[in-house]
Amino acid sequence: MQNEELINKVKNVIEQIRPYLQADGGDVEYVDLSEDNTVSVRLMGMCGNCPHSQMTLKNGIEAAVIRAIPEIKSVESVMAE
């Protein structure tokens, strides 16, 4: 159940980031954690179609998650369904 603990840590970090994205009209939600410790998130609101969304994802969200949880390899965005 180590994976469940890791997922909870990831969700916690994302919850801490969300208010900053929401302040700009965007949002992010946790989607999945792969076996190789890649986190999938969904960018929503203004973040979903913002030209800077990849920069927000990599320099903001991914950096914060990896800083808090070094086991995570990367954070990737998945398209809204």
Question: Is the confidence at residue 26, as pLDDT, over 60?
Answer: yes
Q: CATH code for 2-77?
A: 3.30.300.130
Domain parsing of the chain, residue ranges: 2-77
Instruction: Check if the beta carbon of residue 41 is closer than 8 Å to that of residue 78.
Output: yes
Question: Is the confidence at residue 1, as pLDDT, over 60?
Answer: no
Bridge partners of residue 54, in order along the sequence: none
H/E segment holding residue 55: helix 53-55
Question: Is the confidence at residue 2, as pLDDT, over 80?
Answer: no
Question: Is the confidence at residue 5, as pLDDT, over 90?
Answer: yes
The per-residue pLDDT for range 27-54, each reduced to its tens digit, is 999 999 999 999 999 999 887 777 778 8
